Amino acid sequence: MSSAILRVGLVFIAVSPLRPQTQPPATGSQGVVWPGPFYEARPLYEVARLLKDRYRKAVTYEEPIWLWHGDSVATGRDPDGPFDWSPKDRRFVIPDGLQRSPDLHLALLKRIVEAYNTQNNDGTLFQATESRFGMHIVPRQMHNAQGELVAANNLLDAPISVPPALRMPSEHFQALCDAVTAQGSGALRFFYKGLDIAFEPNGLRPPKAAAELLTAKEKEPYSMVWGASDMPAREALLRLIDLSATKWTWYLLCHPSAKPEHRFCVLNMDVM
């Protein structure tokens, strides 16, 4: 079973567990096992992870803030509770012809995403794009709170500014998420346990929990200067990742709730 865990304070939320497949796995041309139909809350999230593992290329995934009740289902006893809703399940089968490509390129990813949009014709649409970093699956169309279809409001499209400062990597990520949250479209948090260690700032591996336990002076060898000036948050994120000794990808997952104040998104970092 595949799953992701979002850590919010002391609360851990299991995100998008892969349900039992209704068909046996298929084997692609490179001998890689492809799963049968996805039937879960975030099929394209699982597809992004699958493509990353198969082709060893960064494929990020972002989803919209789930505002309309029709895009979500109650999963707890309290419909007004902060963690009692989840995105509704969607079904997706990667067309057989798209499973046999020896290489991953933007045209192929676009065909996969278009196939998903066709199979899930409920108004929420995604698109595939490309940057110097890799390929991205991002929302194109979403429902507003009244259920009307509108252009997607992607959190990482928000223009942000972060004053340059000497910080540890996790502190930079926190500053970036705080800047996105300040734009007012939605709360953004990040999660990667041990990010500072994996990031290896200045080629050094800091002690465990260094950002929380070390003094400002002790943090300096594991810190670097970074900031952003009036640029899309996604570009600011790419420039921050450029400073890492480790290759990364990310998955931006959003948590729905009946009350706006309980909705949030989490930027999940993942090493390549």
Spatial neighbors of 141 by CB under 8 A, at least 6 apart, are 123, 124, 125, 149, 150, 151, 152
Estimate the crossing angle of helix 43-55 against helix 106-119, to 10 degrees: 160
Q: What phi and psi, each to the nearest 5 degrees, are found at residue 46?
A: -65, -35
Name the 3-class secondary structure at 146: coil
What's the pTM? 0.84
Region 112-124: mean pLDDT is 95
Please give the single-letter amino acid code of residue 216.
Answer: A
The number of beta carbons lying within 10 Å of the beta carbon of residue 103 is: 7
Q: What is the pLDDT of residues 124-175, one digit of tens each?
A: 999 999 998 899 999 999 999 999 999 998 999 999 999 999 999 999 999 9
Instruction: Please say whether the beta carbons of 18 and 1 come within 8 A.
Output: yes
Rounded mean pLDDT of the chain? 86
The pLDDT value given to residue 102: 83
The number of beta carbons lying within 10 Å of the beta carbon of residue 184 is: 8
When computed from its CA atoms, the radius of gyration of the chain, rounded to whole angstroms, is: 19
Q: What is the pLDDT of residues 177-235, one digit of tens each?
A: 999 999 988 899 998 888 999 999 999 999 998 988 999 999 999 999 999 999 999 99
68: phi > 0 → left, psi -120 to 50 → alpha, else beta; which? beta
